[in-house]
């Protein structure tokens, strides 16, 4: 019996399916007996770890239940194949038993966790495709995203964030209350920080159990050449420090002692008060503009709806059997001024849809709408809406005015339209210049914030 077990072990190490078949002919129960002891040298475990796909398939064809057999560390063959990056073997094991994707080893990790830690991109894709819910499994309050950052596996992190696409999942916290941005900043993973700030919905000012934001974490660590770039990225994303009143004097005594004993003073960049004031005033200005846009858009939408359902000249009260355009409820304007009615209907609809779009965007609560650029886009949409409603009014008055007075009215309207076009052009140009000035000043503001005095023990240097 011992000799047979040794031959089976050697066949699994070599990945020799012929030797396996010969042993099974001699003893059909040999695989079942070997797995009774839960040893670490079970044939399917060994072959999966070494990537012997033919050997693995021969076992799975005859004994598919062996894919669920754990070793002494509670690891399944899928754990070993995932950690080693054998994507073909992983696919075969998952096909035999898809639920193995959710199985946990003695440390509480499933195969997807091990693949993410090792950066096995192809394996991660295979496992997530088979069981997407495996990505949400938590290990000691750490998500798989925390593991990706801890082990600096950026490509796997990008794939998982894109595939799961969940705001709460991206902003999950570990036992210390740290988000993945806290961990990336603490380890100064520049590329990971760029990805999180630019391509995810990470909360840049989330605080951990100590009340530290990512900017606080950066200020507390040793300084190096990456700090300036990280500060620029965080500042641009709207990050701030929770502890802004100085530095070592405001932190707990044990942390102060650690900083002094190590002779590595945490240099905390202090944002100038005038910069904070400008930022607050800018936010107040944006809020007022958004509120104004909401009120005006609501009024214009109401006007457009009323004009659409009750057009100029009203509707026919009775119908005509000979003329299909003269039916009860149809607009009189269609019969008297068909061309002008089309202009009226198009302009009124444009104004109505434009204002509804503004209202929908403002109540959606999307974070990017708090930026000046998107507020400028909303202003352009409002310009389109007001211009459309002006043309609607012009057509309405034209239709309701008798012929003799219409010629005089046309002359007056031509002058008014020229003034209106000039005014609208001036407004759009003015807002465009103001927007460009705002963007041109941003690098200077960030530079002033970054180069502000550094405070150590309440002394500026």
Confidence of residue 459 (pLDDT cuts 50, 70, 90): very low
Percent of the chain with pLDDT over 70: 77
Tell me what the mean pLDDT of segment 308-330 comes to.
76
Let me know: does 176 contact 209? Beta carbons within 8 Å.
yes
Q: pLDDT digits over 378-397, tens only?
A: 778 888 888 888 888 888 87
- For 368, how many CA atoms within 13 A lie in the half-sphere containing its CB? 10
Last residue of a domain, one of 87, 120, 137: 137
Tell me what the mean pLDDT of segment 392-418 comes to.
72
Tell me how many degrees the CA angle 17-22-24 measures, rounded to the nearest 5.
90
If one counts the domains in the chain, the total is 2
Let me know: does 203 contact 170? Beta carbons within 8 Å.
no
pLDDT at 366: 67
Whether residue 413 is contained in a domain is answered as: yes
Whether residue 459 is contained in a domain is answered as: no
pLDDT at 271: 45
Percent of the chain with pLDDT over 90: 39
Structure tokens at 341: 């009615």
Whether residue 26 is contained in a domain is answered as: yes
- For 82, how many CA atoms within 13 A lie in the half-sphere containing its CB? 28
Whether residue 391 is contained in a domain is answered as: yes
Question: How many other CB atoms sit within 10 Å of the CB of residue 230?
Answer: 22
The CATH code of the domain that includes 47 is 1.25.40.20
Q: pLDDT digits over 425-444, tens only?
A: 787 777 677 667 766 655 54
Whether residue 226 is contained in a domain is answered as: no
Q: Cα-flanking dihedrals φ and ψ of residue 315, to 5°?
A: -125, 160
Let me know: does 336 contact 370? Beta carbons within 8 Å.
no
pLDDT at 85: 95
Q: How far apart are CA 140 and CA 261, in angstroms?
A: 32
Last residue of a domain, one of 118, 137, 156: 137
Whether residue 201 is contained in a domain is answered as: no
Torsion of CA 139, 144, 150, 154, to 10 degrees: 170
Tell me what the mean pLDDT of segment 323-345 comes to.
79
Last residue of a domain, one of 121, 137, 153: 137
pLDDT at 461: 38
Confidence of residue 454 (pLDDT cuts 50, 70, 90): very low
Whether residue 372 is contained in a domain is answered as: yes
Work out the mean pLDDT of the chain and round it to a whole number: 80
The rounded radius of gyration (Å) of the Cα atoms in the chain is 35
Let me know: does 242 contact 211? Beta carbons within 8 Å.
yes
Q: How far apart are CA 226 and CA 190, in angstroms?
A: 7
For tokens 């966790």, name the residue.
Answer: 113
Whether residue 209 is contained in a domain is answered as: no
- 42: containing domain: 1-137
Alpha helices (runs of H) in 69-143, residue ranges in sequence order: 77-84, 87-96, 111-118, 121-130
Residue 404 predicted with pLDDT over 50: yes
Of 126, 135, 136, the C-alpha closest to 95 is 126
Tell me what the mean pLDDT of segment 225-251 comes to.
71
Torsion of CA 400, 405, 411, 416, to 10 degrees: -50
Structure tokens at 362: 């403002």
Residue 52 predicted with pLDDT over 80: yes
């Amino acid at each position: 019996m011992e000799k047979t077990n040794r031959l089976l072990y050697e066949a699994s190490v070599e990945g020799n399916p012929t030797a396996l078949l010969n042993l099974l002919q001699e003893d059909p129960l040999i695989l079942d007996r070997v797995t009774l002891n839960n040893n670490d040298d079970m044939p399917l475990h060994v072959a999966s770890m070494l990537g012997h796909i033919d050997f693995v398939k021969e076992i799975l064809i005859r004994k598919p239940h062996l894919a669920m057999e754990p070793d002494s560390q509670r690891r399944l063959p899928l754990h070993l194949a995932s950690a080693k990056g054998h994507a073909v073997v992983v696919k075969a094991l998952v096909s035999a038993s898809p639920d193995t994707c959710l199985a946990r080893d003695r440390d509480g990790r499933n195969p997807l966790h091990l693949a993410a830690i090792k950066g096995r991109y192809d394996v991660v894709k295979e496992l997530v495709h088979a069981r997407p819910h495996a990505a949400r499994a938590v290990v000691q309050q750490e998500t798989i995203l925390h593991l990706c950052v801890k082990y600096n596996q950026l490509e796997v992190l990008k794939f998982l964030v894109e595939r799961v696409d969940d705001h709460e999942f991206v902003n999950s916290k570990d036992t210390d209350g740290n988000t993945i941005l806290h961990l990336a900043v603490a380890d100064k993973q520049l590329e990971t920080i760029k990805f999180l700030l630019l391509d995810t919905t990470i909360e840049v000012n989330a605080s951990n159990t100590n009340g530290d934001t990512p900017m606080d974490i950066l200020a507390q660590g040793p300084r190096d050449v990456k700090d300036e770039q990280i500060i620029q990225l965080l500042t641009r994303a709207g990050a701030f420090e929770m502890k802004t009143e100085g530095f070592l004097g405001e932190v707990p005594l044990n942390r102060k002692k650690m900083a002094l004993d190590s002779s590595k003073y945490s240099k905390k960049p202090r944002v100038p008060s005038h910069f904070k004031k400008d930022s607050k005033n800018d936010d107040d200005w944006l809020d007022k503009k958004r509120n104004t846009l909401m009120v005006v858009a609501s009024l214009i939408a109401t006007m457009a709806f009323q004009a659409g359902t009750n057009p100029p000249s009203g509707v026919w009260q009775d119908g005509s059997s000979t003329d299909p355009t003269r039916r009860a409820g149809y607009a009189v304007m269609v019969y008297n001024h068909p061309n002008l009615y089309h202009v009226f209907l198009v302009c009124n609809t444009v104004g109505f849809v434009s204002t509804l779009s503004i209202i929908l965007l403002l109540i959606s609560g999307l974070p990017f709408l708090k930026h000046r650029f998107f507020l400028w886009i909303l202003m352009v949409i409002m310009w389109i809406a007001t211009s459309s409603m002006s043309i609607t009014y012009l057509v309405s008055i034209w239709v309701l005015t008798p012929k003799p007075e219409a010629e005089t009215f046309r002359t007056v309207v031509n002058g008014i339209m020229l003034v209106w076009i000039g005014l609208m052009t001036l407004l759009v140009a003015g807002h465009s210049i103001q927007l460009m000035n705002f963007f041109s000043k941003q690098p200077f503001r960030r530079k002033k914030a970054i180069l502000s005095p550094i405070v150590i023990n309440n002394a500026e240097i």
